[in-house]
Amino acid sequence: MLLAILPFLMGFGLGNAWVRVLDFVLLYVLLAIGLNIVVGYAGLLDLGYIAFYALGAYLYAWLASPHFGLHLPFWLVLPLGAMLAGLFGVLLGAPTLRLRGDYLAIVTLGFGEIIRIFMNNLNAPFNLTNGPQGMNLIDPVSIAGFSFGKPLHVFGMTFPPTYFYYYLFLAFTLLAIFVALRLQDSRIGRAWAAIREDEIAAAAMGINTRNMKLLAFAMGATFGGLAGGLFAAFQGFISPESFNLWESILVLCMIVLGGMGNIPGVILGAVLLTVIPEALRYLGDLQRATLGHVAVDPADLRMLLFGVALVAMMLFRPAGLLPSHQRKREFAAEDGVAEQEQANLYDTRA
Amino acid sequence: MDIFAQQLVNGLVLGSIYALVALGYTMVYGILELINFAHGEVTMIGAMVALTVIGVLAGVAPDLPGVLVVLGGILVAIPACMLLAFGIEKIAYRPLRKAPRLAPLITAIGVSIILQNLAMLIWGRQYVSFPEILPTTKFEVFGAHISLLQIAIVVLALTIMACLWLLVERTRLGRAMRATAQSREVAELMGVNVDRVISATFIIGAAIAAIAGVMVSAYYGLAHYYMGFMLGLKAFSAAVLGGIGNIAGAMLGGLLLGVIEALGAGYIGDITGGFLGSHYQDVFAFFVLIGVLVFRPSGLLGERVANRA
Amino acid sequence: MHSSKLALSVVSLTLAISIAGCGNKAETGSNVIKIGSVAPLTGPQTHIGKDNENGARLAVDEINAKGLELGGKKVSLELLGEDDQAEPKTATIVAQKLVDAGVVAVIGHLNSGTSIPASKIYHDAGIPQISPSATAVAYTAQGYQTAYRVMANDAQQGKALGQFAVGKMAAKKIAIIDDRTAYGQGLADEFEKAAKAAGGEIVAHEFTNDRATDFSAILTSIKGRTPDLIFFGGMDPQGGPMAKQMKSLGLTAKLLGGDGLQNVNFMKLAGADAEGVIASSPGLPIDSMPGGPAFRKRFEAKYGAIQVYAPYAYDAVYALVDAMKRANSAEPAKVLAELPKTDLQGVSGPVKFDAKGDTTGGAVTLYEVKGGKWQVLETIK
């Protein structure tokens, strides 16, 4: 209920710009839920997650923009983008199955950079991505002839496209939350948890660890690709600079801060890390209004605060703001056995 | 031929710098199995501190020979970085030694962000330039141009690596470090002060990083708050390439990565008939890394990490 | 339990923000015309962004002091300055904010990377956008009749540079390096086209990135092709060390660049090796502008030294108000109908737009480092 009227509250209370912020919050929630499957559920640290977001966005741009003259409908393009991202998830996962935590982190980081570099450079010899100039004039979502690209005028009020996108994104986010929650308690979810805790024991219990890890990569990537497609349609313009390493780290920060493996925690993390920088902007406005100039640059402060928050969270509340029940138990445990378990939590080495 | 010789020289100099920074990663990983993401930033702080001192010295005593000025900068940067690394380990890593493995990795990323932004607040967002005080003598060998500075970098890097090798293999501290890497618990039982050994590892790595930072900024003539991140990433890749935890491996990995990058940028276009150009330089380096990890997951020379289950 | 907690926190958050936001809304009478100005006011480009805003503000203050009458009513202008942090995502958020606030036009943004995504929002809202400094070709090539600029674009600059390289510098074999940013790649491609058309031979096209410091590998590979000119599409942090490394590798070719190199920082980073480097900058040097010296005086009295684009932001406001006067209204649709007919003598030179919204009076000036200073070589119209 509240979620249904939220954009109106924000729109009239704070202006439509905040509805746009809300849209971005939902996109990041989608991303965070996807990454949480890989990192939180299966315990595979992925530092190149944004590559899947990029793939989804670029596929949308290829199939629905003047670049190739194709204008396919979004309900066809979005699933294709999600599938492409999922396929790349498997492609990334397959060669890295034998790698353990830290090496996996560095390989995924490399993968993320490789995708970005290719997107940035594939304007020659064949112009696939338009290089650093980015792709423009991407088709907005349109449902049954109603285009999201134009503002709607009713009852003397004007609703910019951000309102329609809010409900579209909300629908996908709710779907993602539903899928993620169902997965968590399914056979698959329990298999992931087993691999995360102890891969050898999981294999001994008859879990096909190879397929399960690949599935985690594919599922996570699919969500990323979906979010990417939505982003492309929403923004209408994409360029490789939107998909850099810091975006990957930002999404990781969201799930760490909120509580890895726990969906409400992940959502909270995504909301906080998207809204706080926007709120910090008022700090700059406030300084300009009172001092006439900006004494402390909030943009400088923002990243510093992120860094401090990351360190402080790990030191004082390592399981996140809203930890999962299991994680909470593990961190609260005092006896040696539990401690031993903790030490091996992400140790998936053979 | 002269072009090839020049590319080799380019790669070797770049590789020596990678190797020096890689030592810090490899030592810490060998003992704690932690990717110290902040190590690249320690290198950057070293460069920034040294540049500040060098700027002041060059202003106060303009007649001092450039080499001495730079030496003064290094001498201040080393203790500064040592102190910094000691503090980082104590505040951000030590309390998490028994936490899940993801936890210290995330604090490492956090510390890295903090250091970058602090450096930006202190030294500004602009690139800081290195004063032109070093001699620019050049030699020509096989048609390749080699400067005195390049020779100094390679020689100094090799000397430091030899010293470090001696320290680890021949001294008491080195033995304690190796024991701690094998098994922290057993080392402790044998009377090794594990905390002190770990601190020492961080401090030694930081001192080397400080020297590497000064080398980078002198070689390229600039320093910047962002310079540590990519350098750190490349150096870590070098450490993995050679076999992490292995000092000789870091050296080999660094030099190899430097040469691969130089040759990659120089010849990738010719090899692929112009399809891929020097814009894929980093892709090339990452593919080599992934290839090595997939086919030889413990690096070229193998890792020295005790394989605890 | 968790979800109710979450809902609660969302409610309180919304409330807190709504309350905080209430103070921001100021009711304004219909005789105040709001104009937006967007540029990065935080981050690395703060000084350039503030400069743009000050240029626009000077024009607004002057027009208000003189008095403006539209449709028989006395009106005054109000400039709303916003910060886009030079980031595409933030740019769309502040663009929406300005549209909400009811601005009739926007002067901005500073960068091409922000002007392009924001232009969609202004286009949807039907309000004119005049950028003082976005130079990417794509900005006006989207078919939006709302997007204008008052500065020569990358194509115009790249063309001038290419012709200069082959014509005046008599370069026969040319090597190109670009930094794979929207700016560097755009400029380098336009340069390549123009240089080829003028009869120059491109012997190599190498690439780097905007974080790199080591160019020895690509420079060595270029050296093997023995060019007599190297063109770099990119910024000073790369251009400085590149000039140094060219010397230490024994390359004798001249280095030529765009406005990314034409600044003081480049000379600091390149040191003695900056000598002889040639770079361009769109527009005229401030003292050669028709109204330049007078503008400099007025501007410096209020805001201190001019950074770069202030005169263009100033002209953009005047072009806008000029269109309002002709339309005798501040209504965006009517102003948009008048903007294409703009023919104004601004401080930066004549302001006229072509069918796309690009300026037709754009000049490009070339500078060379001589004796540790950028000296004007010549201006190409």
Beta bridge partners of C257: C232, C279
In the block, which residue shows the tokens 């939590």? A345
Per residue in A27-45, pLDDT (tens digit) is: 999 999 999 999 999 988 8
What pLDDT score was predicted for residue C29? 47
Least Cα distance to B51 among B234, B181, B253, B210 occurs for B210
Domain end marker among C264, C282, C300: C282
Higher pLDDT pick, A144 / B307:
A144
Say yes or no to pLDDT of A330 above 70: no
Chains that touch A (3 or more CB pairs under 8 A): B, C
Domain end marker among C254, C282, C310: C282
- The number of angstroms, rounded, from the C-alpha of B271 to the middle of its chain's C-alpha atoms is 30
Is C89 in the same domain as C169? no
C124 CA to chain A: closest CA distance, Å? 6
What pLDDT score was predicted for residue A155? 67
Query: Can you tell me the distance from the alpha carbon of B253 to that of B236, in angstroms, rounded to the nearest whole number?
Result: 9
Least Cα distance to C193 among C162, C217, C166 occurs for C162
Say yes or no to pLDDT of B18 above 90: yes
Per residue in C13-63, pLDDT (tens digit) is: 444 444 444 333 333 446 899 999 999 887 777 888 889 999 999 999 999
What pLDDT score was predicted for residue C26? 38
A343 CA to chain B: closest CA distance, Å? 5
Say yes or no to pLDDT of C80 above 80: yes
pLDDT band for position A1 (50/70/90)? low
- Mean pLDDT over C202-222 rounds to 91
In the block, which residue shows the tokens 């104004």? C344
- Interchain CB distance below 8 Å, C237 and B230: no
Query: Can you tell me the distance from the alpha carbon of C353 to that of C150, in angstroms, rounded to the nearest whole number?
Result: 8
The dihedral through the CA atoms of A303, A309, A310, A311 has a sign that is positive
- Rounded to 5 degrees, φ, ψ at C68 are -130, 135
B200 CA to chain A: closest CA distance, Å? 22
What pLDDT score was predicted for residue B229? 86
Say yes or no to pLDDT of C338 above 70: yes
For an interface test with A, the pick among C100, C106, C135 (most A C-beta atoms closer than 10 Å) comes out as: C100
CATH number for C206: 3.40.50.2300
In the block, which residue shows the tokens 């932690």? B34
Is C144 in the same domain as C160? no
Share of chain C above pLDDT 90, in %: 56
Say yes or no to pLDDT of B270 above 50: yes
Of B100, B109, B294, the CB nearest to A342: B100
Least Cα distance to A317 among A283, A278, A269 occurs for A269
Say yes or no to pLDDT of A290 above 90: no
Say yes or no to pLDDT of A159 above 80: no
Say yes or no to pLDDT of C5 above 70: no
Is C164 in the same domain as C211? yes
Per residue in C185-208, pLDDT (tens digit) is: 989 999 999 999 999 999 999 999
The dihedral through the CA atoms of C238, C241, C243, C246 has a sign that is negative
pLDDT band for position A336 (50/70/90)? very low
What pLDDT score was predicted for residue C132? 93
Scan residues 236-275 of A and list those with Cβ closer than 8 Å to C.
236-237, 239, 241-242, 262, 264, 267-268, 271, 275
C219 CA to chain B: closest CA distance, Å? 9
Range of the structural domain that residue C67 is part of = 29-152+288-352
Domain end marker among C282, C304, C333: C282
What pLDDT score was predicted for residue A327? 64
Q: Are C269 and B129 in contact (CB under 8 A)?
A: yes
Instruction: Enumerate the residues of chain B whose CB falls inside 8 A of the CB of residue C209.
Output: 279, 282
pLDDT, chain A, mean:
83
What pLDDT score was predicted for residue A344? 47
- DSSP, res A39: I
Query: Can you tell me the distance from the alpha carbon of B255 to that of B249, in angstroms, rounded to the nearest whole number?
Result: 10
Say yes or no to pLDDT of A345 above 60: no
Say yes or no to pLDDT of B98 above 90: no
Of B107, B118, B280, the CB nearest to A311: B107
Say yes or no to pLDDT of A60 above 50: yes
Secondary structure of residue C70 in the 3-state scheme: strand
What pLDDT score was predicted for residue A306? 80
- Give the CA-trace dihedral at A109, A111, A115, A120, to 10 degrees: 50
Amino acid A109 reads L
Say yes or no to pLDDT of B153 above 60: yes
Distances (CA, A) of A146 to A139, A140, A142: 13, 10, 5
Own/partner contacts of A205-210, CB < 8 Å, gap of 24 or more, are: A210/A97
Per residue in B24-58, pLDDT (tens digit) is: 999 998 888 888 889 999 999 999 999 999 989 98
Query: Can you tell me the distance from the alpha carbon of C381 to that of A326, in angstroms, rounded to the nearest whole number?
Result: 71
Q: Are C213 and C269 in contact (CB under 8 A)?
A: no
B85 CA to chain A: closest CA distance, Å? 15
In a domain? residue C375? no
Half-sphere exposure of C146 (CA within 13 A, CB side): 21
What pLDDT score was predicted for residue A157? 65
In a domain? residue C370? no
Secondary structure of residue A340 in the 3-state scheme: helix
- Rounded to 5 degrees, φ, ψ at A317 are -150, 65
Is C181 in the same domain as C276? yes
Say yes or no to pLDDT of C4 above 60: no
* Alpha-carbon radius of gyration of chain B: 20
What pLDDT score was predicted for residue C218? 92
Instruction: Enumerate the residues of chain A whose CB falls inside 8 A of the CB of residue C88.
Output: 235, 237, 239, 241-242
pLDDT band for position C320 (50/70/90)? very high
Query: Can you tell me the distance from the alpha carbon of C310 to that of C291, in angstroms, rounded to the nearest whole number?
Result: 13
Instruction: Enumerate the residues of chain A whose CB falls inside 8 A of the CB of residue B116.
Output: 303, 307
What size, in residues, is chain A?
Answer: 350
Of B282, B283, B293, the CB nearest to A99: B293
pLDDT band for position A6 (50/70/90)? confident
Of C5, C97, C186, the CB nearest to A133: C186
Q: Are C101 and A18 in contact (CB under 8 A)?
A: no
Nearest CA in chain A to C14: A10
In a domain? residue C220? yes
Interchain contact B303–C (C-beta under 8 A): no
First to last CA, chain B: 50
Beta bridge partners of C344: C351
- Interchain CB distance below 8 Å, A21 and C93: yes
Is C256 in the same domain as C295? no
Of B222, B277, B278, the CB nearest to C240: B222
Q: Are B11 and C217 in contact (CB under 8 A)?
A: yes
In a domain? residue C260? yes
Q: What is the 3-state secondary structure (H, E, C) of chain B?
A: CHHHHHHHHHHHHHHHHHHHHHHHHHHHHHHHCCCCCCHHHHHHHHHHHHHHHHHHHHHHCCCCCHHHHHHHHHHHHHHHHHHHHHHHHHHHHHHHCCCCCHHHHHHHHHHHHHHHHHHHHHHCCCCEECCCCCCCCEEEECCEEEEHHHHHHHHHHHHHHHHHHHHHHHCHHHHHHHHHHHCHHHHHHCCCCHHHHHHHHHHHHHHHHHHHHHHHHHHHCEECCCHHHHHHHHHHHHHHHHCCCCHHHHHHHHHHHHHHHHHHHHHHHHHCCCCCCHHHHHHHHHHHHHHHHHHCCCCCCCCCCCCCC
Per residue in C234-253, pLDDT (tens digit) is: 988 899 999 999 998 989 99
Q: Of A325-329, C20-24, C172-176, which range is least confident?
A: C20-24
Query: pTM score, two decimals?
Result: 0.85
Is C220 in the same domain as C270? yes
Say yes or no to pLDDT of A2 above 80: no
Q: Which of A100-109, B102-111, B119-128, B146-155 has the highest mean pLDDT?
A: B146-155
Beta bridge partners of C39: C83
Size of interface A-B (CB pairs under 8 A): 132
Is C176 in the same domain as C100? no
Share of chain A above pLDDT 90, in %: 37
Per residue in A81-129, pLDDT (tens digit) is: 999 999 999 998 888 877 776 778 888 888 999 999 999 998 877 889 9
Q: Encoding tokens for residue C149?
A: 């600029």
Is C229 in the same domain as C128? no
Instruction: Enumerate the residues of chain C whose CB falls inside 8 A of the CB of residue B124.
Output: none
- Mean pLDDT over A140-150 rounds to 77
- Mean pLDDT over A130-150 rounds to 82
Interface confidence, given as ipTM, is 0.87
Is C191 in the same domain as C125? no
Domain boundaries, chain A: 2-244
Query: Between β-strands C278-282 and C364-370, what pairing exists: parallel, antiparallel or unpaired?
Result: antiparallel
Structural domain count of chain C: 2
Query: Can you tell me the distance from the alpha carbon of C368 to that of C266, in angstroms, rounded to the nearest whole number?
Result: 12
Secondary structure of residue A176 in the 3-state scheme: helix
Element (H, E) at A17: helix A17-36
Q: Which of A220-224, A294-298, B117-121 has the highest mean pLDDT?
A: A220-224
Query: Can you tell me the distance from the alpha carbon of C295 to that of C288, in angstroms, rounded to the nearest whole number?
Result: 12
Beta bridge partners of C205: C176
Instruction: Enumerate the residues of chain B whose CB falls inside 8 A of the CB of residue A260.
Output: 102
What pLDDT score was predicted for residue A253? 85
Scan residues 127-166 of B and list those with Cβ closer than 8 Å to C.
127, 129, 132, 136, 138, 145, 147
Q: Where does residue A164 rank: exposed (0-12), middle (13-18), buried (19+ CB within 10 A)? A: buried
What pLDDT score was predicted for residue A158? 67
Q: Are C156 and C188 in contact (CB under 8 A)?
A: no
What size, in residues, is chain C?
Answer: 381
- Mean pLDDT over B204-221 rounds to 94
A99 CA to chain C: closest CA distance, Å? 29
Query: Can you tell me the distance from the alpha carbon of A292 to that of C57, in angstroms, rounded to the nearest whole number?
Result: 14
pLDDT band for position C254 (50/70/90)? very high
pLDDT band for position C140 (50/70/90)? very high
Residues 6+ positions from C20 with CB-CB distance below 8 Å: A282
What pLDDT score was predicted for residue A319? 77
